[in-house]
Amino acid sequence: MQTAIVGLGRMGMNMALRLLNGGHEVCCYNRTFEKAQQLAAKGARAAETPAELVAMLDAPRLVWLMLPSGIVTREHIELFSGLLSAGDILVDGSNSSFKDDDANRRILGEKNIHYLDAGVSGGIWGLRVGYCTMVGGERDIYNHIQPVLETLAPEKGYLYCGPCGAGHFTKMIHNGIEYAMMQAYAEGFALLDSSPYRKHIKLDEIAELWNRGSVIRSWLLELLATALAEDTGLQGLEPFVDDSGEGRWTAMQAIESGTPAPVITQALFERFASRGNADFSRKILAALRNQFGGHEVKTTKHAKD
Ligand SMILES: NC(=O)c1ccc[n+]([C@@H]2O[C@H](COP(=O)([O-])OP(=O)(O)OC[C@H]3O[C@@H](n4cnc5c(N)ncnc54)[C@H](OP(=O)(O)O)[C@@H]3O)[C@@H](O)[C@H]2O)c1
């Protein structure tokens, strides 16, 4: 099925390659044209501008955005709403907030262009393993693009999740769970690292072991085994953990719906703390212990004489 991919980053490039490998016709546009040319060398058709991309497609056109969520995706939806025609389809495959979807659908809907929101999971492994894909929007449009989903996903690895927003909502919760699972592994391995048995324990071997029949086996644990085998003490890493939004949105959804999600929320807060954002509260704790009990504090070089 002819598909246009917009955004050839870590995700879009490999998704386009998977579609090419699966026998689809792929057209592409990327802000940095060299990446589109790289893909053209593998069989895609590369456009230098969004207008050129749209001109090379057969109606009804299928355009799949794989861009940073938020303003960049919104700008491209506005841009393509002016280039595509009634009956065409635009899929937002980014990690957009489900709260953006209704506005995106309305912008495109004014021109009778169909909109699907697709949460895509698989990261840099998706090219080989396939992309688990969660789709929201009109069911018949989902049915229409199934050949593309079938190729992108592993076997049975895509699902119609519901109306507009349901795909990104499902992906948001998926990522929230990912935060909590990662946090649980991180804490467990930190406890192993500080244990009295540490000098006998090989952390990568434990990660490998637990992937063989244990109830906590998982793909994340396989990745951890690889990371620990490469650098046992993770000496080369700063203890700094970024986040890209979905954990915050999940925590806010928990608050808005009154649904307790303490583990996911705590995992998010641990990431904030990893960036030094808990330092002031920790200073307050030290100051209070000092004030009420005269407990010793450690001073910095900026401390007053
Ligand atoms: N990486 C993952 O594991 C993963 C997993 C699931 C979902 N996602 C989501 O998938 C989307 C893409 O992620 P990615 O990892 O592929 O990102 P990426 O590697 O950083 O690539 C970003 C892409 O967007 C383009 N882009 C960035 N800013 C732009 C702008 N202002 N105007 C036009 N194009 C712009 C880049 O073009 P240039 O080449 O010109 O820079 C590039 O093609 C994001 O929404 C992300 O959250 C990522």
10-residue block means of pLDDT along the chain (305 residues)?
Answer: 98 98 98 98 98 98 97 98 98 97 98 98 95 98 98 98 98 98 98 96 96 97 96 93 95 98 98 97 97 95 65
95 plus 14 within the same structural domain: yes
Question: What's the pLDDT score for residue 226?
Answer: 96
144 plus 194 within the same structural domain: no
In a domain, 258, yes or no: yes
Question: What's the pLDDT score for residue 232?
Answer: 87
Question: What's the pLDDT score for residue 134?
Answer: 98
pTM above 0.85, yes or no: yes
| Nearest alpha carbon to residue 60 among 81, 80, 88, 83 | 88
114 plus 187 within the same structural domain: no
Of 25, 178, 208, 222, the active-site residue reads 178
14 plus 145 within the same structural domain: yes
Range of the domain at 202: 172-278
119 plus 229 within the same structural domain: no
In a domain, 29, yes or no: yes
Domain final residue, candidates 118, 139, 163: 163
CA of 14 to the centre of ligand 1 (A): 12
CA of 197 to the centre of ligand 1 (A): 43
User: Does the beta carbon of 49 lie inside 6 Å of ligand 1?
Assistant: no
- The CATH number that applies at residue 271 is 1.10.1040.10
196 plus 229 within the same structural domain: yes
CA of 61 to the centre of ligand 1 (A): 22
What is the four-CA torsion angle of 131, 135, 138, 143, rounded to 10 degrees?
Answer: 30
Number of domains in the chain: 2
155 plus 189 within the same structural domain: no
In a domain, 257, yes or no: yes
178 given a catalytic annotation: yes
157 plus 203 within the same structural domain: no
In a domain, 176, yes or no: yes
CB 23 within 8 A of CB 2: no
Question: What's the pLDDT score for residue 304?
Answer: 59
Could you give the angle at which helices 101-109 and 71-81 cross, rounded to 10 degrees? 10
In a domain, 28, yes or no: yes
Number of other CB atoms surrounding residue 1 within 10 Å: 17
Which residues, 6+ apart, have CB-to-CB distance to 154 below 8 Å? 129, 130, 131, 132
